[in-house]
Amino acid sequence: MYEGAVQDLIDELGRLPGIGPKSAQRLAFHILEADAEDMKRLAAAIVGVKERVKFCQICGNVSEQDTCAICRDPRRDPSVICVVEESKDVLAVERTRAYRGRYHVLGGAINPIAGIGPDQLRIRELLTRLNDEQVTEIILATNPNLEGEATSTYLARMLKSIGVKVTRLASGLPVGGDLEYADEVTLGRAFEGRRSAIG
Amino acid sequence: MYEGAVQDLIDELGRLPGIGPKSAQRLAFHILEADAEDMKRLAAAIVGVKERVKFCQICGNVSEQDTCAICRDPRRDPSVICVVEESKDVLAVERTRAYRGRYHVLGGAINPIAGIGPDQLRIRELLTRLNDEQVTEIILATNPNLEGEATSTYLARMLKSIGVKVTRLASGLPVGGDLEYADEVTLGRAFEGRRSAIG
């Protein structure tokens, strides 16, 4: 519909996840009218991330070096590994400031419909780490949805034979939420996981 | 929170309109995992649009040449000018296939709060065209909101003295809409603009 370069940009933007045709058009016109230096910086950031960022050889987290900042940090407890689906989940756990161990990024979750089985995830690498490192606990922190639960169940069964302690994040009511608005599965989990209130 | 290049990209994406911190993060990780060639093409499209696209010297529409495809087209009626706010509005009118005249893109609408007055719009250029071209009708097709209406009212007053025919797009019920769900201003306009139903 537009002339060459504008339509090219709308097409490329429209291929990004969550960017529909209207958003792509709006973004393209913003880029067209924005400061040229700013847009060169955006383009450079896109190319730069592809050139400079790789994945940590140990845990699979994003990193600009062969091993990520967390795996390199000697203050992190090497005896605990928190298993997450994606690099962004590492950040979410880090924000809590409650965890001082290391991570293992699976690179997704088991999803038969999307053709993702255990072999597509970094599970072999996890087993290698359990052989090489002195690990005493594995915390399964996959997403609390169908794929994440399936992945954790698979891992828990597999790790059982190895004899390492395997734990899972608690399910329950979100802090600050209303009981009234909790869905029944979450509320059910909160009952199952109830703890003694006195001491 | 992330290492250099990833955070750079999240920051740059987050500066785009309508992209919040969560979307910027999601897009950055998509870019990180996407095909390198695809992402080079995206970066090239961003730089390309800044380098190749300029604005038509006559109407202000986006164009890769000094004048846009519509102004260059001898089949377009030069006696009618449709005044719109933005280049994307040209496309919206073109999609109707109901208009065969030319356009004039103002580059926005009068918005005192945002500091946009008549001098920031391409109004001087419109007056020059009225002097140079044989124009018999100006169709004001600004957005049917506060800023668009203010702009059309301003233009209508200014053009009155020049003696050219000035029309405005009809306001009324959207085709395919429900009367029940029309807001009162739109319904009011539909009453004001009612036409004879018999021939």
Q: At residue B197, does pLDDT exceed 90?
A: no
Whether B183 is in a domain gets the answer: no
Distance between terminal CA atoms of chain A? 69
Digit-coded pLDDT (tens) for A56-72: 999 999 998 999 999 99
Reported as a pLDDT band with limits 50, 70 and 90, residue A1 is: low
Domain residues for B154?
A: 55-168
Question: pLDDT value at position A171?
Answer: 82
What is the structure's pLDDT at B115?
Answer: 93
Rounded to an integer, the average pLDDT of A28-37 is 90
Residue B198 has pLDDT above 80, yes or no: no
Of B4, B69, B95, the CB nearest to A64: B4
Note whether residue B192 is domain-resident.
no
Q: Is residue B120 part of a domain?
A: yes
Verify that B160 and B63 share a domain, yes or no. Answer: yes
The predicted structure's pLDDT at residue A78: 94
Q: Are residues B43 and B108 in the same domain?
A: no
Calpha distance B117→B197 (Å, rounded):
41
The residue that leads in pLDDT, A84 or A160, is A84
The chain B residue lying nearest A67, using CA atoms, is B3
Average pLDDT, chain B: 90
B40 and B116 fall within a common domain: no
Residue B136 has pLDDT above 90, yes or no: yes
Contact between A88 and B25 using a beta-carbon 8 Å cutoff:
yes
Q: What is the mean pLDDT of residues B70-93?
A: 93
Per-residue pLDDT of B25-42, as tens digits, reads 999 989 988 899 999 999
pLDDT at position B190 is 78
Mean pLDDT over each residue of chain A, to the nearest integer: 90
Q: Chain A interface, mutation test: which of B1, B7, B9, most A Cβ atoms within 10 Å?
A: B9
Q: Give yes or no: residues B42 and B90 share one domain.
A: no
C-alpha A32/C-alpha B50 separation (Å) is 6
Q: Is A145 contained in some domain?
A: yes
pLDDT for residue B1 is more than 70: no
Residues A103-137 have pLDDT tens digits of 999 999 999 999 999 999 999 999 999 999 899 99
- Using the 3D structure, point to which of A31, A52, A73 is the last residue of a domain: A52
What is the C-alpha to C-alpha distance for residues B180 and B12, in angstroms, rounded to an integer?
A: 44
State whether B153 and B109 are in the same domain: yes
Judge whether A180 lies within some domain.
no
Read off the pLDDT of residues B146-176 as tens digits, 9 standing for 90 and up: 999 999 999 999 998 888 899 988 888 788 7
- pLDDT tens by residue, B94-104: 888 889 999 99
**Is B63 in the same domain as B24?**
no
Query: Is the ipTM beyond the 0.90 threshold?
Result: no
Residues of A whose CB is below 8 A from B46: 9, 31, 39, 42-43, 46
Task: Point out the residue among B39, B49, B69 whose CB comes nearest to the CB of A9.
Answer: B49
Residue B177 domain-assigned (yes or no): no
Token pair belonging to B127: 């007056």
Reported as a single tens digit per residue, the pLDDT across B40-68 is: 999 999 999 988 998 999 999 999 899 99
Q: Does A61 touch chain B (CB under 8 A)?
A: no
On whether both B91 and B157 belong to a single domain, the answer is: yes
Q: Which residue has the higher pLDDT, B6 or B175?
A: B6
The answer on B84 and B35 residing in a single domain is no
Question: Among residues of chain B, what percentage have pLDDT more than 70?
Answer: 98
Please check whether residue A82 touches B, CB under 8 A. no
CATH code, domain carrying A43? 1.10.8.420
Q: Closest-CA residue in chain A for B94?
A: A1
* The three-state (H, E, C) secondary structure of chain A, written as one string: CCCHHHHHHHHHHHCCCCCCHHHHHHHHHHHHHCCHHHHHHHHHHHHHHHHHCEECCCCCCEECCCCCHHHHCCCCEEEEEEEECCHHHHHHHHHHCCCCEEEEECCCCCEHHHCECHHHCCHHHHHHHHHHCCCCEEEECCCCCHHHHHHHHHHHHHHHCCCCEEEECCCCCCCCCCHHHCCHHHHHHHHHCCCCCCC
Tell which of A52, A67, A83 closes a domain: A52
Say whether pLDDT at A2 is over 80. no
The answer as to whether A147 is a domain residue is yes
Q: Do B36 and A50 touch (CB under 8 A)?
A: yes
Based on the domain organization, do A64 and A162 belong to the same domain? yes
Q: Is A199 on the interface with B (CB under 8 A)?
A: no
Tell me the one-letter amino acid at B40. Answer: K
Least confident of A38-52, B6-20, B157-171: B157-171
pLDDT tens, residue by residue, B112-128: 999 999 999 999 999 99
What was the pLDDT predicted at A199? 60
Q: Are residues A47 and A143 in the same domain?
A: no
Lowest mean pLDDT among A3-7, A84-88, B33-37, B81-85: A3-7
Is the pLDDT at A27 greater than 80? The verdict is yes
From the list B52, B88, B94, which residue is nearest A5 (CB)?
Answer: B52
- Domain co-membership, A138 together with A59: yes
Distance of alpha carbon B153 from alpha carbon B147, whole angstroms = 10
Q: Higher confidence at residue A14 or residue A177?
A: A14
pLDDT > 80? residue A195: no
CATH number at residue B164: 3.40.1360.10
- List Cα–Cα distances, B132 to B84, B107, B140, B180, in angstroms: 20, 21, 19, 48
Do residues B10 and B85 both lie within one domain? no
pLDDT of residue B199: 60
Q: How many domains does chain A have?
A: 2
Between A166 and A2, the higher pLDDT residue:
A166
Whether A178 is covered by a domain: the verdict is: no
Chains A–B, number of C-beta pairs less than 8 Å apart:
144
